[in-house]
Structure 1
């Protein structure tokens, strides 16, 4: 009986580079918390420091240690440890590694970790120059890759003369030629855009004539497009512009580039840049380009994969060559009505595939409105409008943006339809995944939440970066939803996380405008805001209220007047927000403000937050400043952590009477120091079981 082969060692099948690396992966996998992971990484970094400090350490051991260090730096949560001790070892390995793999690891570490302007840059430059002058292709490629990854002002003058030599640009290996152009591009991008490119446009055109490899051709076309886009080259006349355009088209036809692959995209981008850089496109240039693009579009049988990317790129420059509009619209119509070529007795249309639908919407957004509005047929427009109700959120958002381009009133009509559905509990949208066995009330509640999410998408798409409009839309949706849900004790976690996540990605000025808009609208109304609204407004007040805002006292009074209407968990959010606001109050008004908050805390001592005493402790001038200094950021959670830290440090300053008076009873809310029950500053976590994913869209904390 033949002997079975022995099983491979675990470290070889785990993706680890060595036994030591495998041991680290095992320990990290078995860690019970992020704190334990950080401790393991701290120990590993200390061990790496010892290994690299050994004089004459073997190159293989250095390479193994650098890989482990990179893994640690990728996974660590604490970033205060300095790891520059490994840079010298990495440089030595890049220069003197015994194998190409070891040298690549040295270069990799330098690419990932070498800071700009570091004193080792000069030594790295010498190593790169030495490799560029090498006769070994693998050494040249290592140097070119490093230049492309870590270009610098100091590196450019040292290596550009080598990069522009004929021996490199005409090297027999295509990968070296390609990386050479890539390195030149990377070096030019970090300089002033108007600086001349190391190669003139005539030299690049000559390179096109000699080149046969498609990947290198793509990089040359990209280089030409780059210098035109950045203004590094200006055409002296229309004749020169026409010559460059015709040469590009001739090269594309000679190589039969068509619409397939990255090279086809680079060609059309470059040709588009030639036209884009002209204030007025001449008839000869428009005719030459439109003939080439129309021929390519007519040759396309479908718009999938590269064909779709080509169509989208063409739409970007179509405004300069209106002759191709008809070809573009033909492909768009075929995408919208995939069943139009098939005879059918049914009058209902088959909707396009999601990717095709997204492609159409992006193409139409690039085109002028008059090109397709009123030109596309009724069925095509019907498919576009149907995107509002798509199960794909990308399609819904793109559709709303396109409708906004047609008319600002259309998104408002869609929003009102969603709000009417919530009010009447009819025509509600349901999530894709739902738990089994839900009754009608539970399904209705899920439908309201899903419809409200889609209403939020409409507000986002229609308001763009207008913070005031976004704030108004969000509040309108929350008021309708909270009225239908009965108000108290209901937290729409997914909606709160959605709004806060959106503000994280908006420019700071837009997030501040949203905060001011919501605060002013709430203060102007007489209604009690729902719990979800309070979760959102407390979080964004802490994080985004402008430092120069001059109505802080009015906001404090507003929160003080509302706080008694909520349960312990919501009261805690408001109290932390009040501390944040007190750190902003002018010194001449601080005494009155702190007195007002203290009186509020006295009223809340029955059955309130377990942090009540800690918050009360820090409400004085000196400790408020300390809270502000200790808070890692202006986020509500960081402010709470700072309050706890400061109050713990200064607890001895409380008098016995204070301790007796302010000691609250056993808290009702399940809170922790770093994470509030209603986590308004992070997206709420969902249930682990996929079949219960949408069962708990809300939390009921009412008593």
Structure 2
């Protein structure tokens, strides 16, 4: 960096020095280290009480530079939050707009949305909005437009409404755009400003009119009692006298090649009813379509696309000959040209042509599809096969636009005809077709997706139904994501996959075995014939499939590990499950070389003994207390199995003998003295806190649902009595404190409950105890359960159960249950859940005897 300070644009000498140091670094780690040291230095400087606003601004700018320059992930989360109070102070007390802008910018870039200082930031914004200085009002509006959250709406809504009528046009414009930005969080705030928006549409300043048009467009999308057509009429009223003007505009723009104006004029024309157009005689001699005929005959793809876009805006009865009193406008050669464009190399043009023809007469599209399927060339190379399949899928997408079951059947039929026409013993997998099918299913609505998945998975379970290799790649992807939503048990799907494994290629076998592993995680028991089929496949397969079969046979008997793998996947998709499975394999191979279990580890006896020997004890160490039988066994949850703690070993139930019938050793007493830790929160999984349900007491100190007996933990805590007193044990509170530092907290139950509508709820009576209900809900392995005692807010006297999907992010997409215990056996429950399949499953669990 050879630029001198005077020409560098740096804010200060310190700013110039750090930029120079980073630019001169010989490696990225060296630059990151320099930035880290600079942040550490600024943190010490900001602790000085006598810093001026100018000095604070300079250091905030350097911190912003560091945050944008440092390698992603190098700095821990929240590394720069120490400077937030100084940024807020600068935004509040800055002498110039530039000072305040730096403060706001730092808060916007660094402050989390749920930070405790957000309230102070909102207050500062409101003060600037109420200022009499125009520059400060504009700055606050710019901040609202660029970044805002739901919490700021009550504080600024009334003031923003006043600013819509401000004397300065740039404030009116920004106020409109600020309302639009806030509407992303609450669309109801657009309702009171409708009259203001209409007034601003007639504003004398073009910039204000432009902003009003943008907001008006948003209003027509979200307002139910005020349709788009009514709003459009207020913006551009099309009277009988203005229709000839519109027709003239179409002719002139088509003649002079003003394509953008031509398209918008046709879109405006589409808002008129066919009756109005017919009475105005706009289509006499095909005048509207005749003005754009030249674009159909053009060789420019843009002109062709423009022609069909305009044609879609005109009612069919006015040009297609579907009405007996109006003949077809297009001549024979023009119709022929339209049919030729079905083979256009441009996919967007083909889609436009298909939509136009399907709207005229769906039989045209059916005939075209039948001819394309019947006349498949027999010796197409793989690249052309993919291209041909893609074009057939375009037709199928238009034909079955609202019917997922029809789409599935047509896709199967098309692939069968294509594979039979190729006349190959082992047809190849058409990757383009697989990609297009899955992309289309992601783009459609949930009902379409579910109908398609149900149809294809039903075909899988029918042994007499042949399925080609391409479809056998699509079906596993759908099975992984939707097997919980269809009415086919996972065991039946396992049987279907196992029956087709011998006839599949190696690539398809690998995918199918992987999906079968995913299904096993949700099966109560793997059928014996499935394991036999896997062993037979292993005997006749190569090394890669043998390894996959060994993996299946191993993990099929270790369901808790499979559940962990599913929980660790980022989503329910097949690629994310495969990634989680590979991470487990990598971890398994690493830990097995050290003689440890891949998921669970415990300290070696020699290590514990050494720690005892090294300690300076004042007495002889007590012997390790023997683990006795438990009063009532609990099955370990999946999250408990996944923890890497030394206390996560698996124990089996040994009966219901009375623990008090045996002699207590001094070691047992030491553990009993530390039993207070059983009343603290216990972190049993990553990011997951589980609270117990105490039926005799309703206080905040709850017992973990899956907590083990202190006697069970004794063998892993041999150094417990190395303190001065044998009756003081190491508390588990450290784990709790660490969780608080890490930001792990119980969910905001009331906020999640209110965010879910009553329509997504259910209620009923559970005839057993709350304890039994909790254990039953824990059986939903793909979800995590959190329980809040009846003595805790927000709903005092009721237990709160929060169940969150592992592959979901965001509040309100899990399930929340409120339970009120009866004096008799049983309890009343209320459920809210935004996920319909999950709501049905939970309701069935709670209503089944």
TM-score normalized with structure 2 length:
0.56
Q: Give the 5 Å matches for 1:77-116.
A: 81=77, 85=81, 88=85, 91-92=88-89, 94-95=91-92, 103-104=100-101, 106-108=103-105, 110-111=107-108
Displacement of 1:314 in angstroms is 0.5
Counterpart selection for 1:335 from 272, 277, 292: 292
Distance in 2 (alpha carbons) for counterparts of 1:206 and 1:151: 26
Q: Gapped runs of 5+ residues in structure 2?
A: 10-14, 47-54, 322-327, 594-849
CA separation of 1:99 and 1:336: change in aligned 2, threshold 3 A:
farther
SS at match of 1:391: coil
Query: Which residue number corresponds to residue 158 of structure 1?
Result: 155
Distance in 1 (alpha carbons) for counterparts of 2:281 and 2:110: 49
Displacement of 1:371 in angstroms is 2.6
Greater Cα offset, 130-139 or 487-496: 130-139
Distance in 2 (alpha carbons) for counterparts of 1:131 and 1:115: 22
Counterpart selection for 1:420 from 371, 374, 381: 374
Displacement of 1:215 in angstroms is 1.7
Distance in 2 (alpha carbons) for counterparts of 1:40 and 1:314: 60
Greater Cα offset, 220-229 or 149-158: 220-229
CA separation of 1:312 and 1:127: change in aligned 2, threshold 3 A:
farther
Q: Give the 5 Å matches for 1:558-569.
A: 558-569=496-507
SS at match of 2:273: helix
The answer to whether the Cα contact below 8 Å between 1:542 and 1:634 also exists between their aligned partners in 2 is yes
Counterpart selection for 1:612 from 538, 541, 549: 549
Distance in 1 (alpha carbons) for counterparts of 2:449 and 2:258: 38
Distance in 1 (alpha carbons) for counterparts of 2:364 and 2:80: 56
Query: Which residue number corresponds to residue 272 of structure 1?
Result: 232
CA separation of 1:514 and 1:103: change in aligned 2, threshold 3 A:
farther
Displacement of 1:455 in angstroms is 1.2
Q: Give the 5 Å matches for 1:98-497.
A: 103-104=100-101, 106-108=103-105, 110-111=107-108, 118-134=115-131, 137-165=134-162, 169-171=166-168, 174-187=169-182, 190-191=185-186, 193=188, 196-198=191-193, 201=195, 211-223=203-215, 272-274=232-234, 286-287=239-240, 290=243, 293-294=246-247, 296-297=249-250, 300=253, 301-302=255-256, 304=258, 306-319=260-273, 321-322=276-277, 326=282, 330=287, 332-338=289-295, 350-351=297-298, 353-374=300-321, 375-378=328-331, 379-424=333-378, 444-483=381-420, 484=422, 486-488=424-426, 490-497=428-435
Distance in 1 (alpha carbons) for counterparts of 2:402 and 2:24: 46
Displacement of 1:145 in angstroms is 1.8
The answer to whether the Cα contact below 8 Å between 2:427 and 2:469 also exists between their aligned partners in 1 is yes
Distance in 2 (alpha carbons) for counterparts of 1:469 and 1:79: 52
CA separation of 1:216 and 1:632: change in aligned 2, threshold 3 A:
closer
The answer to whether the Cα contact below 8 Å between 1:601 and 1:616 also exists between their aligned partners in 2 is no
Distance in 2 (alpha carbons) for counterparts of 1:318 and 1:66: 54
SS at match of 2:298: coil
Distance in 1 (alpha carbons) for counterparts of 2:75 and 2:391: 39
CA separation of 1:466 and 1:47: change in aligned 2, threshold 3 A:
farther
Query: Which residue number corresponds to residue 491 of structure 2?
Result: 553
More helix by proportion, 1 or 2? Answer: 1
The answer to whether the Cα contact below 8 Å between 1:553 and 1:593 also exists between their aligned partners in 2 is no
Displacement of 1:289 in angstroms is 5.3
SS at match of 2:448: helix
Q: CA RMSD in A?
A: 4.7
SS at match of 2:429: strand
Counterpart selection for 1:510 from 448, 454, 463: 448
The answer to whether the Cα contact below 8 Å between 1:582 and 1:593 also exists between their aligned partners in 2 is no
The answer to whether the Cα contact below 8 Å between 1:575 and 1:615 also exists between their aligned partners in 2 is yes
Distance in 2 (alpha carbons) for counterparts of 1:26 and 1:353: 52
Query: Which residue number corresponds to residue 469 of structure 2?
Result: 531
The answer to whether the Cα contact below 8 Å between 2:476 and 2:511 also exists between their aligned partners in 1 is yes
CA separation of 1:193 and 1:160: change in aligned 2, threshold 3 A:
closer
Query: Which residue number corresponds to residue 240 of structure 1?
Result: none
TM-score normalized with structure 1 length:
0.66
Displacement of 1:393 in angstroms is 0.9
Distance in 1 (alpha carbons) for counterparts of 2:341 and 2:432: 23
Larger radius of gyration, structure 1 or 2? 2
Distance in 2 (alpha carbons) for counterparts of 1:608 and 1:291: 73
The answer to whether the Cα contact below 8 Å between 1:618 and 1:646 also exists between their aligned partners in 2 is no
CA separation of 1:139 and 1:391: change in aligned 2, threshold 3 A:
farther
CA separation of 1:76 and 1:540: change in aligned 2, threshold 3 A:
farther
The answer to whether the Cα contact below 8 Å between 1:492 and 1:532 also exists between their aligned partners in 2 is yes
Displacement of 1:182 in angstroms is 2.0
SS at match of 1:326: coil
The answer to whether the Cα contact below 8 Å between 1:94 and 1:104 also exists between their aligned partners in 2 is yes
With a CA cutoff of 8 Å and minimum separation of 6, indicate the structure with the bigger relative contact order.
1
Distance in 1 (alpha carbons) for counterparts of 2:449 and 2:154: 43
